Amino acid sequence: MEGPADPEHDPTAAYALEPDYVDGLTARLVATTGRTVALMSPLDGAPLAHVPQSSADDVAEAFTRARRAQAVWSRTPLDERSAMLLRLHDLVLDRQDEICDLIVLESGKARKHAYDEVLHIALTARYYARTAHRHLDTERKMGVVPGLTRVEVNHVPKGVVGIISPWNYPFTMALCDGIPALLAGNAVVTKPDAQTMLTALLGARLLAEAGFPQDLWQVVAGPGRELGTPIIERADYICFTGSTATGKLIAAQCAERLIGCSLELGGKNPLLVLRDADLERAAEGAVRASFSNAGQLCVSMERMFVADQVYDRFVERFVARTQAMTLGATLDWDNDMGSLISQDQLDTVVAHVEDAVAKGARVLVGGKARPDLGPFFFEPTILEGVTPDMTCFGTETFGPVVSLYRFHDEADAVARANDGDYGLNASIYSQDGARAREIARHVKCGTVNVNEAFGATFASIDSPMGGMRESGMGRRQGSEGIHRYTESQSVATQRLIRFGPMLGMSDETYAKVMTANLRLMKKLGRA
């Protein structure tokens, strides 16, 4: 495979990338400043590549190219657009080794968590390709005068969508929000996070190989503080995934221009283990819920509320499974958890754990950095006795740290799960599915998984996904995930009669006739 080197074949090369491979990816950037930024692998801290940087002028150029391409693309038949998504589906599956290698090298995550990204993009591409007509075809609506008023609703593309994506799921977040935007007839200008630019650029290359016009998907590189505003000033819609603080700033800027935005932001997600839960299943799910991608997942769990009746037995199983996890900085499948992505992320995790321990929390397992494995490794950590005065009680850690809490009354557990300002994802374990689904209705989160950590909602592309409260606004996936990129346009065609007095009728007589017609339609059961 062209691309990431295999260190087993060249032990001196560490995790080096072939220069020609890097050049082929970075050639897709709109970047003319002459400046580059070194990209380091969290696996070993060694340089992977130097990425060219974009300016505000490059952002303007990217939008110019995208608008030109979008004018043609919006007239491309929907079936042709869908066929390109199906080709992307196959390319992603065919090239999964290359994709996973690059994800692991840039993000430091375990390979099995990198594969989750391959799976998600393949699912997203196939879903929107197969449901394109359901979402985008012109719809007939009820007219005010049966038989004489024909009403149709068109779903018109917004134009050029700006996407600002994060580092934690670099392939998924680089593409999953843009796929429905393209299908709906839009162009995209995207700014991926600086730490995972190459994975995002590989996604752009796969789109081109699938047949999408190259100018339709523009990529710029640089700090959000420099390029975020130029993107928002030119976009017709903004899609952002990241912190709540940044999301609020973006929402304010979008409001100034009266453009829409969708924001998936932070979370302090709760998992509930009810008294009738299958404890083996709950413990297995708790490990994935807490430690997938080293906890650097917007929908991962940082708070677990466990019924008194099963608390000790659940904790025993959860701790044992956590202790059995394998950590490593390799490209193979043997690791259960990889590295944090950066020193900043490691510093946050260390600070949260040290603060909790200093104030009386107990570490049941983990609690230490592991520089012997790599510069940013931290052990999967379970805390008990976390109290409101501790930073990790209500502040998102975004790392492999979870706090355990007992509960006796389920209503109290729900109230504690709803405590705070976030509302992204939750999980409930119970053998009574109907009871768990009823409890879910009272949990203030945009997605709730029953007897699963997060995969059930995350992978069910036909259902919307997003946050309540300070966890965001708008939804990805499903019909909401594509309609956010369209304007609804109503077209009404009137036959024979007009909405005004006819044949010399006075306004007063017209009002009486219309009143009689309204009463008649009510009797006939008309809406």
Output the CA angle 75-79-80, nearest 5 degrees. Answer: 65
Residue 8 has pLDDT above 70, yes or no: no
What is the pLDDT at residue 10?
40
132 token code pair: 């394109």
78 and 203 housed in the same domain: yes
Q: pLDDT tens digit string along 230-244?
A: 999 999 999 999 999
Active-site residue identified among 176, 239, 261, 264: 264
458 and 372 housed in the same domain: yes
332 and 290 housed in the same domain: yes
Whether 419 maps to a domain, the answer reads yes
The whole-model pTM stands at: 0.93
Residue 12 has pLDDT above 50, yes or no: no
The proportion of the chain whose per-residue pLDDT surpasses 90, expressed as a percent, equals 92
Q: Which domain holds residue 519?
A: 503-527
Whether 442 maps to a domain, the answer reads yes
Residue 38 has pLDDT above 70, yes or no: yes
CATH number for the domain spanning 426: value is 3.40.309.10
Please give the average per-residue pLDDT across 290-315, as a whole number: 97
Q: pLDDT tens digit string along 135-177?
A: 999 999 999 888 899 999 999 999 999 999 999 999 999 999 9
45 and 57 housed in the same domain: yes
Percent helix, strand, coil in the chain (nearest 5)? 45, 20, 35
260 and 314 housed in the same domain: no
Report the first-to-last Cα separation within the chain, whole angstroms. Answer: 61
Work out the mean pLDDT of the chain and round it to a whole number. 95
Whether 203 maps to a domain, the answer reads yes
Confidence of residue 15 (pLDDT cuts 50, 70, 90): low
> Token pair 């995969």 is at which residue?
455
Last residue of a domain, which of 265, 288, 308? 265
Whether 156 maps to a domain, the answer reads no
Whether 144 maps to a domain, the answer reads no
**Length of the chain in terms of residues written:** 527
343 and 233 housed in the same domain: no
User: Contact 423/448 with Cβ under 8 angstroms?
Assistant: no
Q: How far is CA 127 from CA 153, 208, 389, in A?
A: 23, 19, 45
226 and 101 housed in the same domain: yes
Task: Please state which of the ranges 11-20, 96-105, 443-452 shows the lowest mean pLDDT.
Answer: 11-20
> Token pair 């009510």 is at which residue?
522
CB burial string 101-112: b at 16+ within 10 A, e below: bbbbbbbbbbbb
> Token pair 């006819």 is at which residue?
502
Task: Please state which of the ranges 144-148, 255-259, 318-322, 440-444 shows the lowest mean pLDDT.
Answer: 144-148
Last residue of a domain, which of 265, 284, 319? 265
What's the total number of domains in the chain?
A: 3
What is the pLDDT at residue 502?
84
Residue 184 CB neighbour total at 10 angstroms: 24
307 token code pair: 């019924």
Whether 316 is a known active-site residue: answer no
126 and 257 housed in the same domain: yes
317 and 180 housed in the same domain: no
379 and 418 housed in the same domain: yes
Q: pLDDT tens digit string along 359-391?
A: 999 999 999 999 999 999 999 999 999 999 999
Last residue of a domain, which of 265, 281, 309? 265
User: Contact 336/306 with Cβ under 8 angstroms?
Assistant: no
Q: Does residue 407 sit in helix, strand or coil?
A: strand
241 and 355 housed in the same domain: no
Whether 6 maps to a domain, the answer reads no
Task: Please state which of the ranges 121-125, 142-146, 303-307, 506-510 shows the lowest mean pLDDT.
Answer: 142-146
User: Contact 425/457 with Cβ under 8 angstroms?
Assistant: yes
Most confident of 14-23, 398-407, 502-511: 398-407
Whether 1 maps to a domain, the answer reads no
306 and 371 housed in the same domain: yes
Q: pLDDT tens digit string along 469-505?
A: 999 999 999 999 999 999 999 999 999 888 889 888 9
Whether 254 is a known active-site residue: answer no
Q: How far is CA 348 from CA 25, 83, 265, 378, in A?
A: 32, 44, 18, 11
Residue 5 has pLDDT above 80, yes or no: no
CATH number for the domain spanning 109: value is 3.40.605.10
Active-site residue identified among 298, 302, 379, 392: 298
The proportion of the chain whose per-residue pLDDT surpasses 70, expressed as a percent, equals 97
Residue 394 has pLDDT above 70, yes or no: yes
Q: pLDDT tens digit string along 444-479?
A: 999 999 999 999 999 999 999 999 999 999 999 999
186 token code pair: 């839009």
Q: pLDDT tens digit string along 263-292?
A: 999 999 999 999 999 999 999 999 999 999
Which residue in 94, 35, 30 sits closest to 61, CA to CA? 30
